[in-house]
Amino acid sequence: MKEKTKKIIAKTVSLCLCGALVAGAASFAGCAGKRDPDTVYISRWALEWEKPLFEAWTAEFEAQNPDIDVEWEFTPYTAHFDRLRTDLLSGDAADIIFVNNWGWEPYSEIDVFEDLGAVESLSATRSGLLADAQNAFRQGDKVVGIPIGLVSRVPVVGTADFEKAGVEIPYDRDTAFTGDELVGLLGGVADSVGKAMGINITLTDALFSFLASVGAPLIEDGKILCNTPDGIRAVQEFYDFATSGRVVPLSQSYGGMYGTADNAVMTGTCVAGYTNPGGLKSLLDSGWDIATIPGVKAEGGDDVVLADFNTLVVPKFSKVKEKAYKVIEWMLSKEAQLDYAVFSDLPTNAEAFEEVMNDDANWDPTLYSAYGVGIDNLYVPPALSTDFQTFLGGCLKNLLDGAIDAEEFCRKMQEEGEAYL
């Protein structure tokens, strides 16, 4: 582990201990209707081990801003979005709320969040983000969310398998793999060490990546754009990749014989998994030597990062908006983002992201370098309605079962899919 990472973790642990002793340190919020009007409440999903790390992180903000108290409200992931609906309806939601691409859809068209793009004090903060993060969460001409963390998934491999197979890990590769290249690399290692190849990739992630790499994204600006010659070719390459016999189907990964992406590598059943920065940290905490490698694209396509963002929104009825904006400004600063990256997502602050990618003295290039491949070409999947996700899932099943071919898939998506958007 690099020296800076050690120092940040040490500081975080120290803050955790101090926070337990200092009155007013970030803690769990009380019951609805009992909010302190001088406190900024933040709502986020979290696992038990994450909670003290988030609290310690914002304790640094409180030390710098003694006139502002911060209090976290933590819930499990699925319960977070259920609670959000209830809290927004009752007018008792937190002042800063974490959302993401996939939990955003029910709220993407309702006028309940502040236009953060119009907040002058956050202008410099937004302009300091990765370019495609600056306007990722929009409602018409309003920017209602500011991304705080990049949580995209990339292939993760155990270094021991590559060493045993005598294959060098291509962590310094500066371009994504085609489907055939990725299957060839990982399949060869898998055959050499007697394991399954793995890659617990969600099918929609793979499909979006193949299509976006050839400039025919499945969806952009409310339109389905895959029904082009390049789009059809990309879907065919996706089909070949997904049905190669080497890629573990999602149905066999989560809750199936291979476990999660983390467990597939940890239990030794697979050479590779497909996970996000949080998953990488779980593997590291368990003592595994791992590396990431670039993701997948279509033949001749551009490098692209399928960008999932954890994002901050502020309800219009918050009574402490100016204080909330100050907290957000601090959260997105370079130094706060570098601390955040140690225990959570990769930074969306452009300078902090650049440091994580290129400062070999303080950050491990074998762990994060894959996220830098295609970072200038982010594809942010739009919020998808439940009906569209059901329609897409049915079409994907028919494609992979051989009931329809790539051309028919693209035609159906365009002719029938837009009605569900």
pLDDT tens-digit map of 95-114 = 999 998 777 767 766 789 99
> What are 19-39's pLDDT values in tens digits?
332 333 333 333 345 688 889
- The predicted model gives 343-367 an average pLDDT of 83
Question: HSE on the CB side for 68, CA within 13 Å?
Answer: 23
Does residue 58 contact residue 290 with C-beta atoms inside 8 Å?
no
Rounded Cα–Cα distance for residues 275 and 281 (Å): 10
CB-facing half-sphere around the CA of 78: CA atoms within 13 A: 0
Rounded-to-integer distance, Cα 337 and Cα 343, Å:
10
* Strand 142-150 with 309-313, pairing: antiparallel
Give the domains, in start order, of the chain with CATH numbers.
3-151+308-378 (3.40.190.10), 154-306+385-420 (3.40.190.10)
Number of neighbours of residue 350 by Cβ within 10 angstroms? 18
Which tops the pLDDT comparison, 394 or 18?
394
Is the pLDDT at 333 greater than 90, yes or no? yes
In contact, 109 and 139? CB cutoff 8 Å: yes
Distances (CA, A) of 49 to 7, 153, 220: 19, 21, 37
3-class SS at 244? coil
Q: 245-279, pLDDT tens digit by residue?
A: 766 554 544 444 444 555 566 666 778 877 777 77
SS (H, E, C) 58-102: HHHHHHHCCCCEEEEEEECHHHHHHHHHHHHHHCCCCCEEEEECC
Q: Which pLDDT score, from 0 to 100, does residue 307 have?
A: 77
